[in-house]
Amino acid sequence: MLQKEGVTAYFGCISTDKYGEILEKCASQDGVLGHFMKVKDVATGTCAVCIVEKERCDVCMYCILKKSLVANLSAANKFDPSHLKDSTSQEILSNARIVYSAGFFLTVSPESALICAEHCLAKDKAYAMNFSAEFIVEFFKDRVLALIPYATHIFTNKDEVKKFVRDSPRVGRKDFFFFLVQTKNKFSLIVTQGSSSVLIARDGKSKEYPVEKIPAEKIVDTNGAGDAFVGGFLFGLAEGKSEEECVNAGCYAAQVIIQTSGTRLSGKPKFVFKTK
């Protein structure tokens, strides 16, 4: 796996405070072009991650008291579609081959996500989205469904799938992997299942990819595993690799992050694609 600087760009909203400076600096050090909208009236968003016994859980009150994410979105809530109209944003979108949006962004500016999705459709580019959390598909389902027709790749996990299906009478459990709403694209539905396997459905067919298990004693912190998987998968997609190789790259990235405390990485990745 190569490390290439300046090939990944990021849109978001931060404050002009010290946390904004830290975020911008860290992104730059990791080779990411952070084109941030900046505000002064609120602080940069922060998040406390509580980990107990290597994992994070936010399913019930008991778990929340033990381990959870506590987010202060603050400036992140201020992102405005107008930011996408400046010359730098337009250049980034024009040069991008893949655009990805996490489901969390739909709580802030669904209009911005739609602008990017429409751009990708018009230019025949890949547009990837992520359900991101059960509450997204529960409370913001209309916004999710509005974007699905534009998606070429949809990332989710087994719990989000269950929630989506449970709240969607017209999509039965048995045929979830084969459902297609009235889409402008035929998308790949990519479902992670922790250490069990990765399921991918497309064009009425599904395939299961096994996941190499990491010894329990090597796991440090499972937070961020899903995001890391998406990053690795999309890297493979950008390199023109097969579906299987994209999954392998995603699994490698996820396995690296769960063996790391926090999100700061060191050294060079050792992943190598099996096919050229």
Encoded tokens for 103:
């489901």
Say whether 167 is catalytic.
no
Among 92, 75, 115, residue whose Cα is nearest residue 34: 92
Residues forming beta bridges with residue 127, ordered by sequence position: 99
Among 115, 117, 122, residue whose Cα is nearest residue 153: 117
For the chain, the C-alpha Rg in angstroms (whole number) is 18
Q: For the chain, give the longest Cα–Cα distance.
A: 50
CA distances to 249, 268, 273 from 1, in Å:
8, 9, 7
Which of these is catalytic: 30, 58, 80, 227?
227
The helix (H) or strand (E) run that includes residue 38 is strand 32-39
Please identify every residue annotated as catalytic. 227
